C-alpha cells in the first residue's frame, strides 16, 4: 500500500542530537510528530522505523533522532494517500506546534516534517 504516516515520538529529556547533515539540534523534552510517506510499501517503512537503531543503516533524519535512547515511538498513524498529502499534513500539524526547521524535508519545500506538539 502507498501512503503517508505519522510517528508520534516521546522525548524523555532535553537533548542535543546530531542529525546527519543538519548538524546538532537542541531538542526539548516532549512529544513530536514526524510525517513521512512510503510510495512503495507503507507497512515495511513503518516497521523499519520501529526496529532498534543498531539494526538499521542511518539514512533519514528521523533515524538519527530515534537512535537516541531517550526518544521512543509511542504511536503510529497511517493512511492510503499520495505523496503530496505528506506535505499537506505537515503544514496542518505546524498549526499545532513548533517546526524543527529543515527536518525530514530535504526533498520538498516544507519548513519541516518534524513538529514539537504543544
Inter-residue contact 115 to 36 (CB < 8 Å): no
Q: State the Cα–Cα distance between residues 59 and 15, nearest whole angstrom.
A: 20
CA 53 to chain centre: 14
Residue 54 pLDDT level (bands cut at 50, 70, 90): confident
Q: How many CB atoms lie within 10 A of CB 6?
A: 20
pLDDT digits (tens, 9 = 90+) for 76-90: 999 999 989 999 999
Question: 55: which residues sit within 8 A by CB, 6+ positions away?
Answer: none
Query: pLDDT at position 60, please?
Result: 93
Query: pLDDT at position 41, please?
Result: 94
**Range 25-28, long-range pairs (CB < 8 A, 24+ positions):** 25/100, 25/103, 27/65, 27/100, 27/116, 28/116
Q: How many CA atoms, within 13 angstroms, populate the side-chain half-sphere of residue 60?
A: 18
For the chain, which residues make up each domain, given as ranges?
3-96
Residue range 61-76: mean pLDDT, rounded: 96
Amino acid at each position: 500500500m502507498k501512503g503517508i504516516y505519522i510517528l508520534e515520538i516521546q522525548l524523555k529529556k532535553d537533548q542535543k542530537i546530531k542529525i546527519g547533515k543538519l548538524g546538532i539540534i537542541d531538542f526539548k523534552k516532549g512529544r513530536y510528530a514526524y510525517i513521512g510517506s512510503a510510495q512503495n510499501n507503507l507497512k515495511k517503512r513503518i516497521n523499519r522505523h520501529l526496529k532498534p537503531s543498531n539494526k538499521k543503516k542511518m539514512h533519514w533524519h528521523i533515524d538519527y533522532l530515534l537512535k537516541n535512547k531517550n526518544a521512543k515511538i509511542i504511536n503510529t498513524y497511517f493512511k492510503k494517500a499520495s505523496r503530496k498529502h505528506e506535505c499537506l499534513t505537515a503544514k496542518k500539524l505546524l498549526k499545532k506546534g513548533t517546526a524543527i526547521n529543515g527536518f525530514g524535508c530535504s526533498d520538498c519545500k516544507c519548513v519541516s516534517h518534524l513538529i514539537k506538539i504543544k
